[in-house]
A and B are shown apart, each in its own frame.
Chain A
Amino acid sequence: MNGRADARLGQRKRTELFFRTLAAVSAAIVLLSLLLILGTVLWKAVPALSLSMLTQTPRGGFYLGKEGGILNAIVGSLDLALGATALAFLLSLPLALYLNVYKGRASKTAVWTRFFLDVLWGVPSIVYGAFGFVVMLALGLRASLLAGILTVALLELPIMTRAIDEVMRLVPRELTDASASLGATRFETALKVLVRQSAPGILTGVLLAFGRGIGDAASVLFTAGFTDRIPGSLADPAATLPLAIFFQLGTPFPEVQQRAYASAAVLTLIILLISLAGRAMSRKVTRHVVK
C-alpha cells in the first residue's frame, strides 16, 4: 500500500519535472530566437558594412555590385516614418482624448471605436498598401513620398491610438475630477492634466508606431515607389530601407546580397536605438507625473 503510494508520488514528481523542463525550454527557444536573429544578421553584415554605404547614394551599376551606398533609402525611410508618425499623432491624440475626456470610458462610442481600432491593428500591411494604391489612383496621385506617408500613417494610427488610450485609461479619475472642480473646461483638463499625466506613455506609443512605420515594407511597395535619389519634395518617389533590402537580396550577385545583409543590420540598429531611446526618455518625462 505504502509502496504503491510512493510509486505514484515518484510518477507525479517525474511528470512535474518533465513539464517544468518543457516549459523552460520553450521559453528559452523564444528568448534565444531573438539573439539568434540579431546575431546572424549582424555577423553576416559586418564584412559589408562601410562608411561609404551610409553616406553615398547608389551610383551607376550599384545593383550589379559597383560603388555606392544606401543613403537614399536611409533618408527616404526617415522622412517617410517621421511624416507618417507626425500625421498619425495629430489624429491619435485627439482621438484618445475624446474617448477619455468627452465620452465615458465605457460608453458605447468608446467601446466601438476601440473595437474598430483593434480590427485596424489586425489588418495586414499589404492590404493597407493595396488600399493606399486604390486611393492614390482615385486621387490621381503618383507613387510618391506623400502617398507613402499617407498609407503608413493609416498603418500607424491604430497602433499609436491604442497605446495612448491604454495609458490615459490609467489616469486616476480623481485627478480629472479635481481639475473640473477648479472650474477648468474639459478641453483644458484634457490638455493640462491628461496629456501631461500620460506623457511617458504617449511617447512610448509614438516611438512604437515610428518603429513599425520605418520597418514596414508591404505598405510602401505600391505607394512610395523607389528611386536612387534622395527625395526633394513630397511629390517625389522615395526609397525605403526595407525595400532596398528586399531588392538587393533579390539580385543574383553575392556582393549585392552582402549589402542587403548590411542594410538589414542598419535597419535593425535603428529599431534597437528607437526602443532604447524610448526606455530612456520615458523615464525622463516621468518628472511631471503626479503619483
Chain B
Amino acid sequence: MRLLKDTLARRGMGLVTALPGLLVLLIVVGLFLKSKAILGVAPLSRLLFSSAWHPLKGEFGLLPFIAGTVWVTVTALVLAVPVSILAAVYLSEYAPRWVREAAKPVIDLLAGLPSVVYGVWGVILVVPFVGNVLAPLAGVTSSGYSILAGGIVLAIMTFPTIIHVTLEVFSTVPRSLREASLSLGATKWETTRHVVLRKGAQGILAASVLGFSRAFGETMAVLMVVGNVPAVPRSLFDPGYPLPALIANNYGEMMSVPRYDAALMSAALVLMLIVLFFNVLARRILVRVERRVR
C-alpha cells in the first residue's frame, strides 16, 4: 500500500516535471501558428525590416518597434551596467557588514515593485525631469516622453538583476586570491580591478546579458513613459515605440483589422525568440563560470 502510494506519487510528479520544457515549446509553437497568417502574405524580411506601419492598408513593418526596443534597452544598459557593477563592488569589497545586510532587503524590494509603480513614478518624476531639465540642457525641445525617460526607468528596474548576479559571481572569487594581492602591497581598488573584476569578467558579462533580456521584454513601465510614436527614433529625446508596448496597446483593435492579430503575435514571437537567445547565452556563460570555480 505504501509502495503503491509511492509509485503513484512518483508518476504524478514526473508528469508535472515535464511541464517547464513543454511550456517553452508550447509558447513558441503557439505564437508561431498564430503569426503564420502574416508570414504567408509578406516575406519575413519585409516584416522585420520595413518601417511602413499601416495596419489598415495591410502593411505591417516592425522595424520602428524593433528599433524602439533596441534604443530603450541599450540606453538602459549604458546607464545601469556601470552603476550596478560599481554598486556590487562597493557592497562586496568595501561596505561594512551592516550596510551589506541592510542593502539586501532594499534590493529585493526594488526587484519586487510592480512595473506599473515604476511607470507611475516615471510619469511623475522622470518625464518632467527629462522634458524640463535635460532636454533644454542638451539644447532640444522634448515633451519628456522619450527614449531617455524609458531608459532611465528601465535602468533602475534592471539594477537588482545585475547586482544580484554580479554579487554572486564576486562571492565565488576565493578570499585567498584577494589576500595574496593585498599582501603584495596592492591597494583595495587595484585588487578589485586586477583580481576580482578579472576573475569575474565572464560572470559580469552574463549578468549584463540577463539584465538585457529582462529589460528587453519589460512592458508597462516603458510603455507609460516612452511616448509611443511609431517611427524610428533619431535621438535620445525622441519618442519611441517598443515591441511590448505595441502588443499591449493594440490588443483591443486587433480582432477587427485583418491580419492585425497575426502581426502582433509575430511581434510577440520575435520578442520571445530574442529573449530566449540571450537567456540561453547568459546561462551558458554562468554554467562555465561555475564549473571553473569548482
Structural contact, A31 and B106, CB atoms closer than 8 A: yes
| Residue numbers in B under 8 Å from A67 (CB-CB) | none
| Residue numbers in A under 8 Å from B109 (CB-CB) | 34, 271-272, 275
Structural contact, A267 and B117, CB atoms closer than 8 A: yes
Question: Contact mask A96-111 → B, CB, 8 Å, 1/0?
Answer: 0111001100000100
Closest-by-CB residue of B relative to A17 is B189
| Residue numbers in A under 8 Å from B193 (CB-CB) | 19
Majority secondary structure, B binding face: helix
Contact of A245 with B116 at beta-carbon distance under 8 Å, contacts A116-B21, A134-B34 already known: yes
State whether the Cβ of B107 lies closer than 8 Å to any Cβ in chain A: yes
Structural contact, A271 and B34, CB atoms closer than 8 A: no
Contact of A94 with B12 at beta-carbon distance under 8 Å, contacts A20-B188, A26-B90, A34-B109 already known: yes
Stretch at the interface among B39-47, B53-61, B131-139, B218-226: B218-226
Q: In the bound complex, how far is the Cα of B116 from the Cα of A212, in angstroms?
A: 12
State whether the Cβ of B3 lies closer than 8 Å to any Cβ in chain A: yes
State whether the Cβ of B257 lies closer than 8 Å to any Cβ in chain A: no
| Residue numbers in A under 8 Å from B159 (CB-CB) | 30, 33
State whether the Cβ of B118 lies closer than 8 Å to any Cβ in chain A: yes
Stretch at the interface among B143-151, B172-180, B208-216, B233-241: B208-216
Structural contact, B187 and A12, CB atoms closer than 8 A: yes
For the side of the interface on B, what is the size category?
Answer: 35 or more
State whether the Cβ of A123 lies closer than 8 Å to any Cβ in chain B: yes
Question: Contact mask A213-245 → B, CB, 8 Å, 1/0?
Answer: 011111001100000000000000000011001
Q: In the bound complex, how far is the Cα of B272 from the Cα of A116, in angstroms?
A: 14
Contact of A91 with B114 at beta-carbon distance under 8 Å, contacts A30-B83, A188-B2, A245-B120 already known: no
Structural contact, B124 and A127, CB atoms closer than 8 A: no
State whether the Cβ of A63 lies closer than 8 Å to any Cβ in chain B: no
Of A23, A154, A211, A267, which one neighbours B94 at CB under 8 angstroms?
A: A23
Structural contact, B103 and A15, CB atoms closer than 8 A: no
State whether the Cβ of B49 lies closer than 8 Å to any Cβ in chain A: no
| Residue numbers in A under 8 Å from B264 (CB-CB) | 130
Shortest distance from the beta carbon of B32 to any chain A beta carbon, whole Å: 10
Closest-by-CB residue of B relative to A244 is B116
Closest-by-CB residue of B relative to A15 is B189
| Residue numbers in A under 8 Å from B93 (CB-CB) | 23
| Residue numbers in B under 8 Å from A254 (CB-CB) | none
Structural contact, B16 and A22, CB atoms closer than 8 A: no
Of A129, A134, A217, A261, which one neighbours B115 at CB under 8 angstroms?
A: A217
Shortest distance from the beta carbon of A191 to any chain B beta carbon, whole Å: 9
Contact of A268 with B247 at beta-carbon distance under 8 Å, contacts A13-B187, A127-B271 already known: no
Q: Told that A27-B87, A98-B16, A129-B248 touch, could you supply 18 new A-B pairs with CB distance under 8 A?
A: A15-B190, A19-B189, A24-B90, A24-B94, A34-B106, A34-B113, A40-B121, A120-B20, A120-B23, A123-B217, A127-B272, A130-B247, A133-B251, A215-B114, A217-B114, A217-B220, A249-B119, A271-B113
- Interfacial residues, chain B to chain A (CB-CB below 8 A): 2-3, 5-6, 9-10, 12-14, 16-17, 19-21, 23-24, 26-27, 30-31, 33-34, 82-84, 86-87, 89-91, 93-95, 99, 103, 105-110, 112-121, 123-125, 156, 159, 163, 187-190, 192-193, 210, 213-214, 216-220, 224, 244, 247-248, 251, 264-265, 268, 271-272, 275-276, 278-280, 283
A-B CB contact pairs (8 Å), 8 listed: A20-B94, A30-B87, A34-B113, A115-B283, A129-B248, A185-B5, A245-B116, A268-B117
- Interfacial residues, chain A to chain B (CB-CB below 8 A): 12-13, 15-16, 19-20, 22-27, 29-31, 33-34, 36-37, 40-41, 44, 91, 94-95, 97-99, 102-103, 109, 112-113, 115-120, 122-131, 133-135, 138, 154, 157-158, 161, 185-188, 190, 208, 211-212, 214-218, 221-222, 241-242, 245-246, 249, 260-261, 264, 267-268, 271-272, 275, 279
Give the 10 A-B residue pairs with the shortest CB-CB distance, closest first.
A124-B217, A215-B114, A26-B86, A23-B90, A98-B13, A116-B20, A130-B268, A218-B219, A185-B6, A27-B90
